[in-house]
Amino acid sequence: MTVTLTGPSTSEVRVLIIAGQHGDEPLARQAVASLVEPGSGIPAHRLNCQLAVLSDANPDGAQAKTRENAWGLDLNRDHQQLRAPETQAIHHFVRRWQPSLILDVHTYPPRRKRLLAENLVYAHDLFLDIPSHPSLGLRSLNQLEKKLLNPLLRRNDAAGYLAGRYTLFTPGGRIRHSTPDVVDARNGLAVRTGVPTVLVEGRQPTRRDRHHSRGRTLAALRRACRTAIAWAGRHGPWLAQVQQATNGLHHVALGGRYLDAAEPLVMPFLDARHRTVREVQLPGRYAPKVVPQRCVKLPTAYAVPRSNQALVDTLAWHGLLPRTFALPQPACCTTYHIDHVVHSERSRRAPRELTIRSRATGWEPELYWRYPVTADSGRLLAVLLEPASKYGLARDEQIGLRWQAGQDYPVLRIETDA
């Protein structure tokens, strides 16, 4: 994997563009690579920020024309566990280079079963989306929508590309934007670092398309990237302030609930024969917002059993390392006792019902690694480790953080202001 760096090194605004996490999306790779092509790319002196471009995030997948990497892993579902060397490398680079804004570029298939049943095909040249995990804080999430997402959509629209917020239809009949899960780059990188990470999806032309071509998708993706780069260059202080506010939160929401909108969603679609674009009022419950739930106060540190190597390794890939540090006194250690648990049929989900009770406990410090909560680590530690976290590591059987009724949860919280 090669990252190309360009732009004025004196600028404090840094934009990272990632493409090709999915190996079968060549147009995304091509559009992003062309931004820094010698001769035809954006000349360095025209940039108002530093730019890092990783146009081929999954080289093995690109060669094999597969969505997954050589190990069969979908890299854009690996940003929580970081099992793949490719995602580990991306996170490592992000922590080192500290971008102000990240774009994650893909292409999307416009023909979906659920929509074809209604005789509809997606018409958008571009879908964009922003982070939505509730731990980022409602204020920051709302600001990202108003000040970052909406202006980018408007500018791409004004340039002649039909641009909208990424919109999905669940089998249960709900219409929503991307998921609040932390497995993709959009949320995974944002939850880790507080850096706004924008998903960019260009339309993958189909054989039946009349008006969309590969050239149009390439141009739309290039336009979306250039618009975001220019926007970032003008909003450096705002980007820094949003990241700081997000990282300064002392209370973190570990889950959320979709809030249905009062109005149904109306958006443009092609008819299934790709003849005309028309506005369609969609049947189904439109739920554009996630209301934060399950808020916890961050402790001073988390204590993780040294015996759980899989968990220690996963934290290490995120750059979260145990530290030996003296605890200010008085320190209080609490554990969660699991009173009641009902597992969901789908194993990768948080349990359907979970009743936990926090209580003070004694502990043997030599059996645990301590992970201090800092502005840079607290939110992710809580999201990964707390048992009530909807998208935490406890849902992953390989990590071995199990919920068992009548037992204590293995991770402890250390608090010093009790």
Question: Given the rule CB under 5 A, which residues bind Zn ion?
Answer: 22, 106
- Residues 135, 379 contacting (CB under 8 angstroms): yes
| Closer by beta carbon to Zn ion, 106 or else 176 | 106
131-159 burial: b if 16+ Cβ within 10 Å, else e: bbbbbbbeebbebbbebbbeebbebbeeb
Compute the distance between CA of residue 123 and CA of residue 262 in angstroms, rounded to an integer. 25
* Least distance (Å) between residue 106 CB and Zn ion: 3
| Closer by beta carbon to Zn ion, 106 or else 222 | 106
* Least distance (Å) between residue 136 CB and Zn ion: 22
* Least distance (Å) between residue 22 CB and Zn ion: 4
What CA dihedral angle connects 317, 322, 323 and 324, to 10 degrees? -160
Three-state SS at 34: helix
- Residues 99, 17 contacting (CB under 8 angstroms): no
Token pair for residue 237?
A: 């202080």
| Closer by beta carbon to Zn ion, 126 or else 383 | 126
**Residue (of 145, 157, 178) closest to 224 by Cα position:** 157
* Least distance (Å) between residue 415 CB and Zn ion: 41
* Least distance (Å) between residue 343 CB and Zn ion: 31
- Residues 104, 198 contacting (CB under 8 angstroms): yes
| Closer by beta carbon to Zn ion, 106 or else 177 | 106
Compute the distance between CA of residue 12 and CA of residue 31 in angstroms, rounded to an integer. 25
Compute the distance between CA of residue 196 and CA of residue 102 in angstroms, rounded to an integer. 6
Compute the distance between CA of residue 26 and CA of residue 335 in angstroms, rounded to an integer. 48
* Least distance (Å) between residue 201 CB and Zn ion: 7
**Residue (of 269, 270, 267, 156) closest to 221 by Cα position:** 156
β 197-203/174-176 pair status? unpaired
Amino acid type, 276: T
* Least distance (Å) between residue 105 CB and Zn ion: 9
Q: What are phi and psi for residue 366, nearest 5 degrees?
A: -70, -10
| Closer by beta carbon to Zn ion, 214 or else 370 | 214
Q: Which residue is nearest to Zn ion (CB)?
A: 106
Percentage helix, strand, coil for the chain under 3-state DSSP, each rounded to 5: 30, 25, 45
* Least distance (Å) between residue 336 CB and Zn ion: 37
| Closer by beta carbon to Zn ion, 190 or else 380 | 190
| Closer by beta carbon to Zn ion, 22 or else 395 | 22
| Closer by beta carbon to Zn ion, 22 or else 390 | 22
HSE-CB at 333 with a 13 A cutoff on CA atoms is: 16
* Least distance (Å) between residue 110 CB and Zn ion: 13
DSSP 189-202: HHHHH---EEEEEE
| Closer by beta carbon to Zn ion, 201 or else 386 | 201
